[in-house]
Structure 1
Amino acid sequence: MDAAGGCPHAANAALLERGSVVPVVLPGRIEGRAVVGHEALREFLAHSEVAKGPEHFTALREGRIPAGWPLMTFATVPGMTTADGDDHRRLRGLVSRAFTPRRVEELRPRIVELTDRLLEDLARSAEESGGDADLRRHVALPLPMGVIGELLGVGAEYRDRLHRLSGQVVATDIDPAEAITANRELVALLGEIAAAKAEHPGDDLTSALIAARDEGGDRLDGQELIGTMLLMVIAGHETTLNLITNAVRALCAHRDQLARVREGEAGWDDVVEETLRWDAPVSYFPFRYPVRDLTLDGTVLPRGLPVLAGYSAAGRDPAVYGPDADRFDVTRPSRASAARHLSLGHGTHYCLGAPLARLEATVALERLFTRFPDLDLAVPDSELPRLPSFVGNSVGALPVRI
């Protein structure tokens, strides 16, 4: 795996030619597998003999994973993404009430209000610079960070630091010393936020989690509190940030598809779904571990080997999406024959925040292109800086001309 990240699609096509399950080498020369075929990934994500808990990671258990390994947080952070069975159900249940369809829909007016304010910031920045502005910085980042910050009760003064540190945590090219420092700083910052909320609780998710922790018993321990907050911050803004960024890039590069939306042939929700398939915001997500040797689509997955979920590859699998799988087509999601993408997961670990991510992205795109109908990229897409990660899939800046 290329720790420096970059556009994954050419490499994904080469992997898909080799099969739906392929051997990969992770940073530190750690052996792993990647599931890249759509049907194989669908089966793998819901398999009853595949686990998320770090106790199943053979190399970690045997002490072969060094401190500062860039993927350590993904493997070991206490919380839903590393829990199985009853523990996973307990942790998911504590958070799920904040993400029901009804609660998410209640956020729509606030998301519209925040989006409109951010578009004013974008226009102001463009005017001050002579016509160009960074849409990622002014809209795609602060929108989901603002929404998840309000849900968690995290003040605006913390949000820039949270984004910077979470970006380092998901980077795969970070050196060990920087990785250790970033993780310590992020845990300390979340601890500071939790302590402040314990002192002055409010009507927010963090206060509710602290109350669950303080109930005692098997509700939530201190490490799980910080781990759950960390997951909410990273998953609650990084994925949607990439989704909005990738959707704008796709529409600017495919003006005919943008025209289809404006002419009513497709909706903004179709744009979101096709972007999730065509340019998934998460490319390869760590980790799952077979609890015994498994055979998946004719390939053996050894017990305890770390396996990546190849969302960006599965989204363009020609075996499922046909010979035009590489084509961005906003009418594809509405066709009955279109397979459901897996970019937000599948099975018991399906993304809890999926309804919120979809709402934020749909509102942002509709209001952005309504306010700025001639918006376009200020530089060619090929010149945009890629994220330094094979986990997150997007660009680090999005200069646009409005």
Structure 2
Amino acid sequence: MSTNLQRRAARHPRAVESGLLSLLLLATLTGVLVTRSVTDGQTVLWPGVALSVLACAALLWRRGHPLPTLAVTAVCAIAEGALGYLLTPLLMGPLLVAQYSASVRVSRRTAWNSALAAAAAMAVTGLFLTTFSHQLILTSLNPAAWVLMVAALGSYVRVRRQYAVARAEHAAQEREEDARRRVIEERMRIARELHDVVAHHLALANAQAGTAAHIAPANPGQALEIIARLPETTAAALRELKATVGLLRQDTDPDEVAPAPGLDQLPDLLASCSAAGLDVDVTVQGEPQRLHSGLDLTAYRIIQEALTNVTKHAATPTARLRLVYTPRHLTLTVTNDTSAARPTAGPVAQGGFGLLGMRERALAIGGTFHAAPRPEGGFEVTCSLPLHDLDARENESESTT
């Protein structure tokens, strides 16, 4: 019911304004009649009625001109007091409404200055201009107290509104910062994906070309065989790059987007490494578990980047990959050593985004990452990824869908 009334009031603001002012005028006229009855008809009726009507009419401009409206209603109240009317809250209704509006709409200092001026005027009027001077509390203190109380109420409402506005602005700023943070995170994620896709396949193609060039004088047949596999590597790079970039397009058909890679595609990854001349020895310990999509992609990308680094920088033709499944963690270890020499297609890179990307991927899902040279030679990458939140993540995903 209240909601319907609020909607009707919002649709007809002028009618609501007129109704409220009519009620206020009725209350003010009641105050005039009460004073006249108390004084046994000694006060003049029609001037009091005219002043009440003028004060209520002035309230129509209280929103755009709060201080002039307050001045007009205060003058009307003073004039009524001078005519012998008792300044009751009913008679002072227009003044109290004007004081509230001024306290809500003007600054704190201006509001209190106007309130003190109005209260002082009411006190002086009660002391010197009315016929009730023998009752100090009723004629002076009471009207001044009502003005100050309404001013305090208006100041409180103004502060609450300012707080609500500041809170809304703060919430909007937090939403903008959160959106900006999400955009940055998405850019970082896309950058990692593009780096992993491009770096891996280009490193394999570079290693294949370097190996073919190295063995061509002694074994041209094997060199031609390696070169013949180059189109497969570049085609795989193009397919994966197209799938990754396609996620950024709004008009991409979901059926055309390939699923994110995971450990089920590990044999294909090892085959591409073998085509580039890198033999990978894989060891699996523990019972393999089903991984959620985020963890599956993270594990695959870390292995892919680690083997890519071995292909680009290591001086050995072999690497060891160990996957250890426990009830709570999946540990990945990629190791290479310097037990055998192999040709390199270029100098060893002194820096890049590979290790940084692997570390970010691991930390993003609550895992740990460590990469460092081995004391006996070579390099080792170790990553531990948590499995305990798999059910929680899946339940959260199902609840959002």
Q: Give TM class, smaller chain.
A: under 0.3
Using CA pairs below 8 Å that are at least 6 residues apart, which structure has the higher relative contact order?
1
The higher radius of gyration belongs to 2
Structure 1 length normalisation: TM-score?
0.19
Question: Which has the larger helix fraction?
Answer: 2
